Structure 1
């Protein structure tokens, strides 16, 4: 079997898992091998994967090269003669080499050879190199959301041929039915080993539901964990699957459990972050997981409700923006006036009803080109002009809205720690809103009052959330300074001391009573000399993990806070040996994300490419 496995090209499509078993690289099916193992593999490929070419491309290239050589030899009907012509100049006689093509008299078989025919030789690529290029091609298509028809584009084919004439692009069918499934299965297996059976100590989940333009329902799940070696926050999408069942709490809970078991992370879930949908929150509660509401989604609800207070002004702004977006003469007039005023030619922005940030962008841009807009509206559509009171509302509401705009952008990233900012940002939002308490304009006063009420209603008890307050304390950028109420800090510190005191490190053993050490003959004087010192050191070293945990925590809290722009995970990496118990608990808290935005990004990308035409 070794010789067959070594020389048969079929083994390029299978992995030998154990004696007399082989795993297909495309469908992951395990085949039991008989004495005629090659026949078993061949039948599977022809029946299940008929589009996969079993013959190595290297051999195909050699055959094609030989065939092309024979055809060129038969079709060659020209010969070249070389003549030397001497040219006399002032510096002497210079020989010049010229070539003359003598066309064969064979009728109907006239062909001209060029220098390229003799110099450019398409050497066949090694099989490994071809596989590497195929894999990189499918990665480019998958990550860039390109269509498979890219390989059929003539200009792209010419581009690839110019880069490497020896590389033959795979067909569209080979990409979709062979290369993509093979890479997908290999990637999934690699990620499962890393997340489920690998380095992930604790996993935070973000999940959300989505309905496509074709009314198909999907559920997305992303996993977040900290690599304990590199201390980098990792994100892995473990599922974006069609969900055809009724979206009840029980069904969603069972779906999540099944996916967690599949990835072997059902015992590693530290929190699930989602929006405020009642069915998802109920599913998390049924599953027995800890739940955190999406920070960005909650802020979006607060600000969208607040915009109702200035709705009249916002509607007028929308009408102006829609007019300029529909009318080309109006756009040209606005640009012309901006140039006359020596202003940067900025276009108006249209808001989107589902994202309040877009409303802020619309108002902000509207105010930036105020003078040019006033002049353009007066010329094109005077009835759309805003009143002085409308302009004042825009000017005074933007600084207030900018607080929430900045917070939304701050917590929406997935590549750095965000859960520890949850409590801190709530504190900062409330402090900033307080600065606008002396506003005299009635509309703005109502806006400020609304924000105060909503912040207290939605985030008033946020410091009592066990996961978030522990994440805040364990972030060396914030610690206790992120809290408004010192009592919450004290309660969180007491809980943390108890938890880290129960952590038993891998290199620790239960304490055993020490046996008296008999002094070495002749060393009694030395032993008595160090006796007092050894006793003092023994009193300082904690005798049990609880005491050691308290010492670690107190020492950590007494260290100075680091700069807000520093990476807290890098700080913990450098002090892993100093605070081993705190470090172990930190891996279960700083991996938590403050929002479910990472999962929603999957749907945003899918929405750009999943169209009715492609699904029909």
Structure 2
């Protein structure tokens, strides 16, 4: 309730300060004579809660203020009064902060208190960030214990899905484990078991050791049917370690389920190698303004001068097989503007964009719209199809100040069966 000066005023008004023969201080309530141990410089939280809970009328809070009529109730009764509970409010605020990924200081903001106390309940107070953090940890521990009890009574097996990744700055690594199972009512369930910092070397022994510790916490070491992992060699080797420690069913024959998305991405990236000559200049040019603040300002002014809104394009992330398609798709509306910007404003020879590059990218997106092609042979055929169609429909021509030549012409010639060796060598020797 309020700041320290306001709490001190409440203490002086509603409590008597008494010095015991031993020299200790006590605060005695003026209304019920309840005594509390107190010392100079100490907090007023316990004393304030006593007054608010037992003598709300004396401090100007009506006993009926915390009871708000509701339209319906979980019990089905037509008329039921809702009684405000500070602990429930704190728990629900903690859940809200966790779900919405807000900072722990969210509940300690003055605007937060003003909003709720003026529109919901005058008894609502700010929640200090350390209190909110402890509440979140308490809720996590409670749900974890409930999950452990549920797993203990589970008769069937569970499947796990795990991944290890590093943050954007490569400073920290993390391991996430998700569990899927069918409960006794034949409903599929999914829970996040762990989201742990994993800064040890990503060796098979370290991966299997951390996973085994997490499985032991939940009592699942003997109930694992399969684990979905990507194709990293350390992950594959860690599965052998886990098979030895967990002794799964059928001798672990189906214990390692390889991640389909990871395999699909490997196939897609493999197929894109033949198209890298056309995609890389666009990818580099798109990324350039966002790493140079001055160029980004020039891009904004250039778009405004041409009656367009400055757009931040989708990023091409190598670990997401569909990100290249989304990047190209987001640039089509701005292709003329991008060519003009890098040709007239930036004027860097390494960032020139050409019209037949966009035409080839249009063909790529048209092929992609027919659906993903996870097979490496089909992707190789797709790459050749793109190069062949672009070579038939486009001839090298000048855009801005530079002419298409070199690798672009060699790739197109190879696709037609003529000179050059890049694509033909890929076709004969296969993809890596």
| TM-score of the alignment, normalized to the shorter chain, above 0.5 | yes
For 1:204, what is the secondary structure of its paired residue?
Answer: strand
Distance apart, 1:319 and its partner CA: 4.1
Match of 1:361 in 2: 326
Write out per-residue CA displacement over residues 73-108 of structure 1, whole angstroms, 9 at most, x where no aligned residue: xxxxxxxxxxxxxxxxxxxxxxxxxxxxxxxxxxxx
Contact preservation (8 Å) 2:174, 2:195: yes
Instruction: Answer yes or no: is 1:123 the counterpart of 2:92.
Output: no
Instruction: Answer yes or no: is 1:141 the counterpart of 2:83.
Output: no
Distance apart, 1:335 and its partner CA: 4.6
Alpha-carbon distance change, 374 to 68 in structure 1, aligned in 2, over 3 angstroms:
same
Contact preservation (8 Å) 1:249, 1:280: yes
Q: Distance in 2 between matches of 1:309 and 1:393?
A: 12
Q: Distance in 2 between matches of 1:239 and 1:434?
A: 42
**TM-score normalised by structure 2 residue count:** 0.62
* Structure 2 gaps, min length 5: 1-42, 68-81, 244-251, 392-410, 416-422
Write out per-residue CA displacement over residues 518-543 of structure 1, whole angstroms, 9 at most, x where no aligned residue: xxxxxxxxxxxxxxxxxxxxxxxxxx
For 2:279, what is the secondary structure of its paired residue?
Answer: helix
From 146, 171, 174, the counterpart of 2:128: 171
Match of 2:279 in 1: 314
Match of 2:296 in 1: 327
Match of 2:179 in 1: 223
Distance apart, 1:145 and its partner CA: 1.6
Q: Distance in 2 between matches of 1:393 and 1:282?
A: 41
For 2:85, what is the secondary structure of its paired residue?
Answer: helix
Alpha-carbon distance change, 448 to 174 in structure 1, aligned in 2, over 3 angstroms:
farther
**TM-score normalised by structure 1 residue count:** 0.45
Q: Mean alpha-carbon deviation: is it higher for 328-337 or for 140-149?
A: 328-337
Distance apart, 1:142 and its partner CA: 1.3
Answer with 1 or 2: which has the greater Rg: 1
Map residues 536-551 of structure 1 onto 2, 5 A cutoff. none
Instruction: Answer yes or no: is 1:271 the counterpart of 2:240.
Output: no
Q: Distance in 2 between matches of 1:434 and 1:157?
A: 62
CA RMSD of aligned residues (A): 4.0
Match of 2:190 in 1: 235
From 191, 202, 210, the counterpart of 2:147: 191
Instruction: Answer yes or no: is 1:337 the counterpart of 2:306.
Output: yes
Distance apart, 1:273 and its partner CA: 0.8
Contact preservation (8 Å) 2:162, 2:228: yes
More relative contact order, 1 or 2 (CA 8 Å, 6+ apart): 1
Map residues 367-382 of structure 1 onto 2, 5 A cutoff. 367-377=332-342, 379-381=344-346
Q: Distance in 2 between matches of 1:432 and 1:214?
A: 31
Alpha-carbon distance change, 180 to 54 in structure 1, aligned in 2, over 3 angstroms:
farther
Match of 1:4 in 2: none
Instruction: Answer yes or no: is 1:303 the counterpart of 2:268.
Output: yes
For 2:127, what is the secondary structure of its paired residue?
Answer: coil
Map residues 522-537 of structure 1 onto 2, 5 A cutoff. none
Contact preservation (8 Å) 1:151, 1:169: yes
| Count of residues paired in the alignment | 327
For 1:369, what is the secondary structure of its paired residue?
Answer: helix
Q: Distance in 2 between matches of 1:62 and 1:352?
A: 56
Write out per-residue CA displacement over residues 346-390 of structure 1, whole angstroms, 9 at most, x where no aligned residue: 554443455453332222222333344445555435654433432
* Structure 1 gaps, min length 5: 1-50, 70-116, 408-424, 458-616
Match of 2:34 in 1: none
Write out per-residue CA displacement over residues 322-352 of structure 1, whole angstroms, 9 at most, x where no aligned residue: 455533233333354355xxxx875544434
Match of 1:391 in 2: 358
Distance apart, 1:282 and its partner CA: 0.8
For 2:175, what is the secondary structure of its paired residue?
Answer: strand
Contact preservation (8 Å) 1:62, 1:124: no
For 1:224, what is the secondary structure of its paired residue?
Answer: strand
